[in-house]
Amino acid sequence: MTCSEIFHNGENFDILVGGISADRPTATCSPEHTLFEASELLQSTGRTAAVILDSEQSVLGVLTENDMLLAFIDGVSSTCTVSQWLHGGEARLPSFLISPLTLRPDVPLVEAALRMATMVKGGAPRG
Q: Where are the domains of the chain?
A: 1-22+105-127, 23-103
Assigned CATH topology for domain 23-103? CBS-domain (3.10.580)
Q: 73-108, pLDDT tens digit by residue?
A: 999 999 999 999 888 877 766 666 677 677 778 888
pTM, rounded to two decimals: 0.67
Name the DSSP class of 80: S
Q: Which residues of 104-115 are buried (b: 16+ CB within 10 A; e: fewer)?
A: eeeeebeebeeb
E-state strands within 1-127: 28-29, 49-53, 59-64
